[in-house]
Structure 1
Amino acid sequence: MWSPELFRAARGVALALVLPLALSGCLRPLYAEAPSGGTVQEKLSGIIVDEVKDRIGHYLVEELRFNLDGSGAPAKPRYRLAMEVKETVSTAIISSQTGRAESATVTANVAFTLKAIGTDETVLTGRAYASASYDRSSQRFADVRAARDAEIRIAQQAADQIRTRIAAHFATKG
Structure 2
Amino acid sequence: MLSLKSMISRGKRLPGCALAAALCFALAGCLQPLYGPLSEGGGDVASKLQAIRIVPISNRSGHYLENDLRFGFNGTGAHVEPRYTLYVGLAESVRSPLIDTVTGYPTSGTVVIAATYTLTETLSGATIAKGTATVASSYDRTSQRYANVRASRDAEIRDAHLLGEQIRTNIAAAFAGKS
Matched, 1:31 2:35: yes
The aligned residue for residue 79 of structure 2 is 74
Map of 1:161-172 to 2, 5 A cutoff? 161-172=166-177
Match of 1:55 among 51, 55, 60: 60
Matched, 1:160 2:165: yes
For 2:130 and 2:104, how far apart are their aligned partners in 1?
42
How much does 1:4 deviate? 5.9
For 1:62 and 1:161, how far apart are their aligned partners in 2?
14
What is the aligned residue count? 174
Matched, 1:11 2:15: yes
Q: How high is the TM-score relative to the length of structure 2? A: 0.93
Q: Which moved more, 1:10-19 or 1:132-141?
A: 10-19
Q: Is the 8 A contact 1:35 1:171 kept in 2?
A: no
Map of 1:125-144 to 2, 5 A cutoff? 125-144=130-149
- C-alpha offsets along residues 9-34 of structure 1, whole Å, 9 cap, x if unaligned? 11112112222111100011111111
The aligned residue for residue 21 of structure 1 is 25
Q: Which has the higher contact order (CA 8 A, sep 6+)?
A: 1
Unaligned runs of 5+ in 2: none
Q: How high is the TM-score relative to the length of structure 1? A: 0.95
For 1:27 and 1:60, how far apart are their aligned partners in 2?
31
Match of 2:99 among 94, 114, 123: 94
Q: Supply the AA of the counterpart residue of 1:21.
A: F
SS at match of 1:161: helix
Q: Is the 8 A contact 1:48 1:80 kept in 2?
A: yes
Q: Give me the identity figure in percent.
A: 43
Q: Which 4+ stretches in 1 moved above 6 angstroms?
A: none
How much does 1:75 deviate? 0.6
How much does 1:171 deviate? 0.9
Q: Is the 8 A contact 1:34 1:172 kept in 2?
A: no
SS at match of 1:137: coil
For 1:123 and 1:169, how far apart are their aligned partners in 2?
7
For 1:95 and 1:107, how far apart are their aligned partners in 2?
21
Q: Which moved more, 1:117-126 or 1:144-153?
A: 117-126
SS at match of 1:99: coil
